[in-house]
Each structure stands twice: as C-alpha cells, then as structure tokens.
Amino acid sequence: MSISARVVADSLSPLGKRITTFVLTYPRFVHAEFMTHRVFSRNAASSRAIPARKIRASVRMDPAMPVFWGANQAGMQADVELKGLKLFLVKLLWMKAMYLMLFVNWLLEKLGLHKQIANRITEPWFNITVVCTSTEWANFYSLRNHAKAQPEIKALAEVMLEAQNQSIPRMLQYGEWHLPFIEESDLEDLGLALAKKVSVARCARVSYLNHDGRRSSVEEDEKLFQRLVGEEPKHASPAEHQATPGDDPNRQLGNFFGWIQYRKMIPNENLVEYKGLVIQ
C-alpha cells in the first residue's frame, strides 16, 4: 500500500512566511479525516473522472489496506492488533472483498453504468492522490502525528513532516509567485500570466498528466483553466494553490496567512483587487 508525500512547491515570503504544496497518496478511506483540516487547499483525483478500467488496474496493483489490524474494542481506537489465524483471515477477507468489488465494477461498466457510480464501490481499496497547499501545518501535525490518530493518517502525517523538513523553500520577492507544477524553464517559456493558468489546470488534474497518462499541452491546460474559472458554474478551487507574498504574515486571505491566493483575485471570489493585483 502506498502512503507517500512529495513536496512539489515550497516558498518563503520576504517576511519569512512559508507556503508548501504536496502531492499526497493515501487510502481513500481516511480522506474524510484529512478533509476536516480547513486551512488546507486541496484537489483530489476523482472517482468520477478516472476511467473504470484505470481504477481497477490501480487497485489491483496497489490496494489500500489498513496499516494496523486492530482488535475490536469499545471506543474509536484499537490498542491491540489481531494475531495469528485471525489476522490472516481478516487480511484474506479484505482482499477477497476487493476482488469481488472489482468484478462487480467491471460488470457495471459492461452494462453501461457511468463511472461516477460504478467506481464508488472500489473506494475502500483505492489510494487517492491529492494536491494540498497550506501555510499552516502545526495543528495537523499535532493531531495526526500522534499515537491516538488513526494509523493510516498518522503514517501520512509522518511522511509529510519528513518531506517538509527535508525540503528547502525558495525565497520569493513581492510580485513573484508560488506555482505548483511550474518549473523555472516553464516560467521563462510561458510568462507569468500563462504560467498561473497552467498551474491551475495541473492542480485540477492533480498532475502534469492527463488521466490517459499523457502530459498535457499548454493549449489543453489553458482550455481547462477557462472551463474551470471562466465558465459557470465556476470550479475555482484549483486556483487556491497559487499565491504571491502579502505584506502582513498574520493577515488571512482565504485559508492562507501572509500569502495572497490567486483564487481571491477572480471576480466574484470575494477579492477582485488587492493592492493592484488582479487576475490576468
């Protein structure tokens, strides 16, 4: 089972306020717990968007499984892990249930059911990929990197903290931008205005790649940006990961402190203009 964290953008403002963007992989069954942290901006690979055959292949290759097979007891936490024959049997039943649901998913697809429904029954065994950006991490690490946390989200918090500690943030000046999935060469080739749009599109896909595994073109990224932000209803959450330094590390704009979110410069997103910054 894959539980991983990779820093894809890490920046420091002139006032010393850090912002970090991760690409995370973890079991879909703890995603609801991760979603409770409201200071995070997130976009996740959607079961509605990924073809059923790719979902099945992903689950077969790397099924999500508990990291601790706790024995039943009162309360939310299992203190003791099952052992011996019982442990063997519960792992076997978990995998048998997985293969049964993969078969049912295949049947539903063959019967013409849309993937937004058919894929749901595979979710207990699916590892979700998430782009997550924040300026505030202390509360998450305090709650989740703790013995009382569910073991799977604790494992996630551990690898996130390790990755963040090993990452060296890039110093940005006022007017420069934190842009996930944008390399220096991209910025030089595209220019800042287009690079922001491409970053938004790539965050929406949770990757450089399309769902067919092919790297998206700039033209495809620009079209996706337009669909997300320029049409109604807007799906503007992927524009939360891009940010430029603010002039007060304690000022909150959106769910960031000390940074100005790109989303807040989009018309009708509460901040049309801030110190002359508008969406381009």
> What is the extent of the structural domain holding 159?
4-166
- Distances from the Cα of 55 to the Cα of 9, 16, 121, 269, 274, angstroms: 27, 41, 11, 34, 42
CATH of the domain at 162: 3.30.1360.170
Cis peptide before 233 (omega within 30 of 0): yes
Examine the domain organization and report whether 54 and 145 are in the same domain: yes
Examine the domain organization and report whether 178 and 205 are in the same domain: yes
Q: What is the pLDDT of residue 243?
A: 96
Q: Is residue 271 part of a domain?
A: no
Angle, CA 198 vertex, CA 196 and CA 203 arms, to 5°: 95
Q: Is residue 279 part of a domain?
A: no
Examine the domain organization and report whether 28 and 159 are in the same domain: yes
pLDDT above 80 (res 278): no
pTM here is: 0.89
The pLDDT tens digits for 74-93 are: 888 888 999 999 999 999 99
Q: What is the pLDDT of residue 276?
A: 55
**Element spanning 29, H or E:** none
Examine the domain organization and report whether 16 and 107 are in the same domain: yes
Examine the domain organization and report whether 160 and 261 are in the same domain: no
Q: Is residue 82 part of a domain?
A: yes
Instruction: Count the Cβ atoms, other than its own, within 10 Å of residue 14.
Output: 15
- Distances from the Cα of 242 to the Cα of 36, 163, 174, angstroms: 21, 20, 14
Examine the domain organization and report whether 13 and 146 are in the same domain: yes
User: Which of the listed residues 107, 138, 166 is the one where a domain comes to its end?
Assistant: 166
pLDDT above 90 (res 268): no
Examine the domain organization and report whether 71 and 122 are in the same domain: yes
Examine the domain organization and report whether 31 and 150 are in the same domain: yes
User: Which of the listed residues 98, 132, 166 is the one where a domain comes to its end?
Assistant: 166
The answer to whether 274 and 265 have CB atoms below 8 angstroms apart is: yes
* Pairwise pLDDT comparison (174 vs 214), residue with the higher score: 174
Q: Is residue 8 part of a domain?
A: yes
**Residue 63 dihedral angles phi and psi, to the nearest 5°:** -70, 140
Q: How far apart are CA 246 and CA 145, in angstroms?
A: 30
The count of domains in the chain is: 2
pLDDT above 50 (res 212): no
Examine the domain organization and report whether 30 and 123 are in the same domain: yes
Q: Is residue 276 part of a domain?
A: no
Q: Span 28-42, mean pLDDT?
A: 94
Q: What residue has token string 């979902």?
A: 55
Q: What is the pLDDT of residue 275?
A: 54
The pLDDT tens digits for 118-147 are: 999 999 999 999 999 999 999 999 999 999
* Residue 247: alpha-carbon gap to chain centroid: 28
Examine the domain organization and report whether 134 and 178 are in the same domain: no
- Percent of residues, the chain, with pLDDT higher than 90: 73
The answer to whether 34 and 5 have CB atoms below 8 angstroms apart is: no
Residue among 274, 278, 269, 188 nearest 233 (CA): 269
Examine the domain organization and report whether 114 and 9 are in the same domain: yes
Residue among 275, 39, 280, 247 nearest 139 (CA): 39
pLDDT above 90 (res 273): no
Q: Is residue 36 part of a domain?
A: yes
Q: Is residue 270 part of a domain?
A: no
Examine the domain organization and report whether 155 and 27 are in the same domain: yes
User: Which of the listed residues 166, 196, 222 is the one where a domain comes to its end?
Assistant: 166
